[in-house]
A and B are shown apart, each in its own frame.
Chain A
Amino acid sequence: MRNQFTGVMMITASLCLAVTTASGQAPAYRAPRTGDGKPNLNGIWQALNSAHWDVEAHNAAPGQILELGASNAVPGGPGVVEGEIPYKPEALAKKKENAANRLKLDPEIKCYLPGVPRATYMPYPFQIVQSQKHIMILHEFASAVRTIYMDDHKEAPADSWMGWSNGRWEGETLVVDTNGFLDSTWFDRAGNYHSDALHVIERFTARSPDTLMYEVTIEDPKVFARPWKMSMPLYRHVEKNAQLMEFRCVEFVEELLYGHLRKPSSK
């Protein structure tokens, strides 16, 4: 009797654990289906947190542009990382250097493709266009694009900014395995970074009609002592006229990037 009871408890506990791990909530929600019977993740989504400033827990802080005052100050955040990012000691030094030199080094400032997972929680919407073979993640920022290959899984043919993504369905969850990254992108404006050994596993799970749970596992043995995780909800843009606007930011940064090379007499 006692053994049976313990067994039932253990099964219940592991079921709860499984549900919690899969969707970040309990009880599990079953998403509406697409025509081919998969959870329908189509929509325009956006994170609503301060992870784009710093994925770790952080205090509110003044901005780095004096003239912008409070309008560009950093809001505090409880963090989206489970625990702390396990930097190797020498790598942590580089993170701090990145943070100290952000205005010169942050790829976002230069309108560079933001990489993964940073693109997901930047303060811009992105759209999922989901078909059987390809799930597109289309970002407003810099028109960054990811194609998630659902059935034709290949090795990354070369390194890139947004990586090469192979996807699969695990029940309610879209699991996306991405590697083939360059070492040029960051995780946030706080200088958190990675190397070209980055491997990202993302899990997208609908948790209600208008929210997704987004869970990410980061592996990069060159920079981190062990894999680490972050998670956050993503919110649907429910406005009737919601659409991705054009944010073709190259034009906005040309003077910043090339102004010092102007002919002096030109203006």
Chain B
Amino acid sequence: MTHRCLVSVGILTALTVVLSVTTIPVAGQAPSPAAKTNGTAAKKAYTPARTPDGQPDLQGFWTNSTYTPLERPKNVTKELYTPEEAAAAERAAAAREEEQTQPGTVADVHYDLTQFGLDRSQNTLARNLRTGLIVDSPDGRLPPVTAEGQKRAAEVAAARKRMGEPTDAAQNMNLGDRCIMMANTAPMLPMGYMSTYQIVQAPGYVMILSERMHDFRVIPLDGRPHLPSNVRQWKGDSRGRWEGNTLVVETAGYNSKGPGVGDNSAAGLSFRGASEDMRLTEWFTRVDADTIHYRFTIDDPRTWTKPWTAEIPLAKDRIQGPLFEHACHEGNYSIGNMLRGARATEKKAAEAAAKKSQN
């Protein structure tokens, strides 16, 4: 429960990328119709309890922790696994995550997730049968990137290259290492660990707190307009409304630095490549006591040829319980240590070069 930024979040990011791109071989796949289901939908309509002010009750501690990658693996051609295949895929991914690193190596010094109980298999998993979280495009992949999107991606990559190595300056590191943000807020994408949330409702508001970097959204339900378009925020600006038992949240007003655009290093975790004009729509529907059906659409004609949609359940978190303070920036010794290490290496190299030229 106590998650501090012990070491580089980037290591975890990298680990997750590995897991995400690792394809799980499945025999006998057949294309399936583009059914908009995540395999967890309740059999019959569920009537959620109401809060004292009459909202459908979404409150509690939730997690969207999953081994399911955002995009369907390339060698998988169907939308849903059978329960047996899903269990096998989960076991394979968990085994990879639990794999002991080589003692005495850099990797070993950094993280043994199992030791700290941080690996996903030891915590609540939001299980589903999907082969990937994306439900539209029907092939489970992100849509093609527009010419403008490709140009922008190349420009971002070139700008990053001009900045130098990640260890040249704190600002060159990725947003997770810098404890600025990760892609778990709007939309709520699962992380390698600590994919935990708290929802609290009050008259006129729904509050969603992400444990990671204590990132919260207080979503007004009063139909107010978005902030003026010159106001740009990392997590945009969210407005909500109830449509029957479904909370619909629309978000706009992103800046150009968030996981959507500036931080391609969050690859595999992020909705990367989006422009600051991206619009996000999310749907939250409680489908049983232990599950919120979460679906989101990203519409960004400047980046993708069409909108795309993903689904992931939020499972009631009965293992981790109350969230704890993730004081990531306050405990961020990694940045200083990485920069000191790089400067020490440079100094050593310069001294060696000087010595060589003397000889």
Contact = CB atoms under 8 A, between A and B. Distances in A.
A263 B53 contact: no
Contacts of B200: 129, 131, 134, 136
A1 to B, nearest CB: 51
Given A34-B203, A248-B234, A263 B52 contact: no
A145 B200 CA distance: 13
Interface stretch (B9-17, B122-130, B177-185): B177-185
Nearest to A246: B233
Interface residues of B, number: 55
Given A113-B327, A129-B207, A131-B201, A263 B59 contact: no
Contacts of B181: 248
Nearest to A132: B52
B324 A157 contact: yes
Contacts of A28: none
A132 B215 CA distance: 22
A157 B339 contact: no
A67 interface: no
Chain A binding site: helix, strand, loop or mixed by DSSP? loop
Interface residues of A, number: 49
B349 interface: no
A177 to B, nearest CB: 16
Interface stretch (A5-13, A86-94, A251-259): A251-259
Interface in B3-60: 51-54, 59
A59 to B, nearest CB: 32
B346 interface: yes
A241 to B, nearest CB: 6
A262 B339 contact: yes
Contacts of A235: none
A144 interface: yes
Kindly list the 7 A-B residue pairs having the minimum CB-CB distance in the complex, ordered from nearest: A35-B52, A261-B339, A258-B170, A263-B168, A246-B233, A160-B325, A266-B168
Given A245-B231, A266-B164, 15 more contacts: A42-B202, A134-B198, A142-B329, A158-B2, A184-B330, A250-B178, A255-B171, A258-B336, A258-B339, A261-B170, A261-B339, A262-B170, A263-B167, A263-B343, A266-B169
Interface of A: 34-36, 40, 42, 111-113, 127-134, 136, 138, 142-145, 147, 149, 152, 154, 157-158, 160-162, 184, 240-241, 243-246, 248, 250-251, 254-255, 257-258, 261-263, 266
